[in-house]
Amino acid sequence: MATNTLIQKLFGKDETGVGEDGVTQSNRREVEQFIASEGITDGDLVCLDISKSTAGERMYHVKKLKTDVGATAVAIGVADQDADADARINVVIKGYKSGANIATGAAIGERFVGTSTAGRGDVLVNSSTLPALGYVVTTASANAADVVIIKQF
């Protein structure tokens, strides 16, 4: 079930020590639960597993996004936890996600897309035909960056 995207709480400037600095306070993100088709690490970019045999399975199984293979190119979001194959996994499909698997060097404000490295994103180049999955909000270091995900479906 989708999480609420309405403003939950706006803190006054005189409020301190009550969680106002938490990343979950009114961050307006949507998280959906899927089933992992393979081992997935927190922060990996994921896609729908359209290699499954039925329409229903194609819509609730995910695997690491890998854009050079058609069956792993339908990007939907970023994993919000580690998961083994056949386990349930939470995926951020819209909004803020810290520690996404983004190639080192991606700068603040850059749009990102999937790459041929499973689960990793990189800067969208002008010649790309892929849609942007989101925006980088902290400079990527050690293949990790905070991002804002654009809802894909």
pLDDT of residue 8: 60
Alpha carbon distances (Å) from 30 to 26, 52, 99: 11, 25, 16
From start to end of 11-136, where are the E strands? 30-36, 45-48, 61-64, 75-79, 88-100, 111-114, 121-123, 134-136
pLDDT of residue 77: 96
Residues of the chain with pLDDT > 70: what percent? 82
pLDDT tens digits, residue range 118-133? 999 999 998 888 889 9
Report the amino acid identity of residue 96: Y
Which has the minimum average pLDDT: 66-75, 100-109, 135-144? 66-75
Q: What's the half-sphere exposure (Cβ side, CA atoms, 13 Å) at 129?
A: 3
pLDDT tens digits, residue range 14-44? 666 655 555 566 667 899 999 999 999 999 9
- Report, as an integer, the average pLDDT of 40-69: 94
Query: Structure pTM?
Result: 0.85
